[in-house]
Amino acid sequence: MENKKHYYSLDFLKFLLSILILFHHFQMTTLVDFGKIDFVEGIFNFAMLVEFFFIISGFLSGMTADKTGKSSFETFIGKKIRRLYPTAILSVIVMTVLIMIDYLLNGVFRQGLVPDIFKFFNSILITFSGYSIKVGRGINNPLWYVGVLMICYIIFYLILRISERNGIKPIYLFVFVCLLGIGIHDYGIDLPFANEDVSRGYAAFFYGLILYELYRNYSHRFLYLFSYLTLIVCGLLFIINYTAFYQYQWGSFVFVIFPCVLFVFLSLENYLGFKFFQVLGGVSYEIYVWHSLFNHLILMSENILKPLYDQPFLFLGIYTLIVVLFSYVMYSFVEKPLTKAVISCYSKIRKQDAE
């Protein structure tokens, strides 16, 4: 496996992606007009950036495949839960309180989101999207990504164990699940663990694992050069006839452009190798988890914020700055201590069980 322990360039990339998703959901919430710039219904579908997060998660999972295959399921999945769930659960609780306060003050459940008990517990477990239960939007809906990511992690672990026991290379099963995801997506299948949300994870996460295999086994210089040239060709095609080029936008970006951008950022590791970017990588998750809270606050404060609607770029700048600063505080003073507390509690329970 690759000796590299951490890619700061990918931390920086995750931060940039989280900011773009922030812009996308901000415009969806406020419906402000940025002129020729459109983060919602423009030429590019910004919702696809979630697939880029899946690709990065798959790529990074490939780096630890040897270690993962030798660990127990409880150890592997427990580590993922302790990393992702504490902050996510806290965000659901805070969002629920905010929604109820909004209802008491204004007598309305915005966007038809009623936080009943069943929806609340599915939102806490992050099983509201992709699983066997249909409850519609989650209380903190962007967390659907975390729920689908957990499914991908479980399948990834099972593939490694199956491959080890049967003496086959896991890459073949990675390709199968990736193709399965594409099929579910393109044929519009809507079944438990085989629907649009899950298909996005299957296709992109396992494609990320495939990309890591390429990165591990082939010349980095060749992959970097190929990626730069491909992006140049794609840019020229866009200028010549963007309509034809984007006819199948999901496939073009997820399987061609996003991987090339990934390799371009990896090629810049020597220039982006600052530990500060590791902090930005951590903050990117907080941005993704908490930005819905601020979107709801915007809806609640629409009358107060009316002057800012006439200055959309200023509005967006203030909103982004507040969300990023809040996310940094949450990452530094809530997520990290909370995760340590959960790990400590878990270790004590394991120790008691062993005795």
Classify residue 43: in a domain, yes or no: yes
Classify residue 352: in a domain, yes or no: no
| Residue 5: band (very low, low, confident or very high) from pLDDT cuts 50, 70, 90 | confident
Classify residue 73: in a domain, yes or no: yes
Q: Cα(first)–Cα(last) distance of the chain, in Å?
A: 37
Classify residue 2: in a domain, yes or no: no
Classify residue 348: in a domain, yes or no: no
Mean pLDDT computed over 268-272: 93
Q: Say what the pTM is.
A: 0.95
Mean pLDDT computed over 254-261: 97
Q: Which amino acid is at 352?
A: Q
Short-list 184, 82, 266, 300, CA closest to 258: 266
Residue-level pLDDT at 175: 98
Give percent of the chain with pLDDT exceeding 90. 81
Classify residue 354: in a domain, yes or no: no
Total domains present in the chain = 1
How does pLDDT run across 316-344, given as a tens digit for each residue? 999 999 999 999 999 999 999 998 898 88
How does pLDDT run across 123-165, given as a tens digit for each residue? 999 999 999 887 889 999 999 999 999 999 999 999 999 999 9
Residue-level pLDDT at 174: 98
Residue-level pLDDT at 1: 40
Residue-level pLDDT at 245: 61
How does pLDDT run across 61-96, given as a tens digit for each residue? 999 998 887 889 999 999 999 999 999 999 999 999
Residues spanned by the domain of 18? 8-343
Classify residue 349: in a domain, yes or no: no
Question: Is the predicted pLDDT of residue 294 greater than 80, yes or no?
Answer: yes
Tell me the backbone φ, ψ of residue 65, rounded to 5 degrees. Answer: -60, -40
Classify residue 104: in a domain, yes or no: yes
Mean pLDDT computed over 244-271: 91
Residue-level pLDDT at 354: 67
Question: Is the predicted pLDDT of residue 102 greater than 90, yes or no?
Answer: yes
Give percent of the chain with pLDDT exceeding 70. 97
Question: Is the predicted pLDDT of residue 213 greater than 60, yes or no?
Answer: yes
